[in-house]
Amino acid sequence: MVDHAFDGLHVALIMDGNGRWAQARGWPRLAGHRAGAETVRRVVEAAPGLGIGTLTLYAFSSDNWKRPQDEISGLFRLFARYMRQEAAKLKKQGVRFEVIGRRDRLPGPLVSLIEETERATSECGKLRLRVAVDYSSRDAIIRAVEAGARDRASISASLGPDVDLLVRTSGEQRLSDFLLWENAYAEFAFTDAAWPDFTAAGLRDMIEDFRRRDRRFGAVAPARLQALR
């Protein structure tokens, strides 16, 4: 695997509201997840042009095992279909695909497909696409420590890059055990739009707003510091 730097912003997306979007239309919840997959495709295609180097998507949390079994099975079938349909396109577009989270509880054929897609795109360097499946940030931090990480640098190296912008759709405003360590200094953006209605243009507007923010990371802004002297 080539170790690319993936220059650009790290944007993390909590893709919320698929089921409610479908139910509001009198459709089964899985129809919302299918519509959400199309949104993923649009956002991934737009990401490099928006200055994004790493895109992390929250697809299935460890707490989502509490959902009805038919919905879980449908989600995994949809995820497998996405990889089969998009693997060649991702490689052509220079997108390196990765899955973070546990794999021991996923169906064996799905794990094989994940590994196959990761191998096929391992040398791509335009965009790093990370999909969180059976993911818990608390558990990820515990695993990092159990594996020997003992300081900030080693824990960060184990977990992944810091997030610049965290986006959550469908009006929710919480982290839900997603990238807790990596979001330490992230800027947040929220929208009432359900994930199937989220657009690349909407993400562009959020990034433009993000670039206007004053990120100080605990320090005093230079202009403010000068005024205090």
Domain with residue 24: its CATH number is 3.40.1180.10
Q: pLDDT tens, 117-129? A: 999 999 999 999 9
Of the two residues 225 and 165, the one the predictor is more confident about is 165
Q: Indicate whether 43 belongs to any domain.
A: yes
Q: pLDDT tens, 89-107? A: 999 999 999 999 999 999 9
Q: Indicate whether 152 belongs to any domain.
A: yes
Helical segments of 94-162, H only: 108-120, 137-146, 152-159
Counted domains in the chain: 1
Q: Indicate whether 4 belongs to any domain.
A: no
Host domain of residue 105: 9-228
Q: Indicate whether 3 belongs to any domain.
A: no
Position 227 pLDDT exceeds 60? no
Q: Indicate whether 101 belongs to any domain.
A: yes
Of the two residues 136 and 7, the one the predictor is more confident about is 136
Two tokens, residue 149? 């990480």
Cα→Cα distances 82→179, 197, 198, Å: 23, 19, 18
The residue annotated as part of the active site, out of 64, 139, 162, 177, is 64
Q: pLDDT tens, 104-153? A: 999 999 999 999 999 999 999 999 999 999 999 999 999 999 999 999 99
- Strand pairing report for 187-190 and 165-168: parallel
Q: Indicate whether 2 belongs to any domain.
A: no
Q: Using CA atoms, how far apart are residues 142 and 149, in angstroms rounded to an integer?
A: 9
Q: pTM higher than 0.85, yes or no?
A: yes
Q: pLDDT tens, 33-87? A: 999 999 999 999 999 999 999 999 999 999 999 999 999 999 999 999 999 999 9
Q: Which residue has the tokens 């079994």?
A: 69
Q: Using CA atoms, how far apart are residues 90 and 80, in angstroms rounded to an integer?
A: 14
Q: Indicate whether 176 belongs to any domain.
A: yes
213 CB contacts (<8 Å, ≥6 apart)?
187
The verdict on whether 197 is a catalytic residue reads: no
The residue annotated as part of the active site, out of 16, 18, 134, 164, is 16
DSSP character string of 24-71: TTT--HHHHHHHHHHHHHHHHHHGGGGTEEEEEEEEEEGGGGGS-HHH
Q: Indicate whether 202 belongs to any domain.
A: yes
Position 174 pLDDT exceeds 70? yes
The verdict on whether 104 is a catalytic residue reads: no
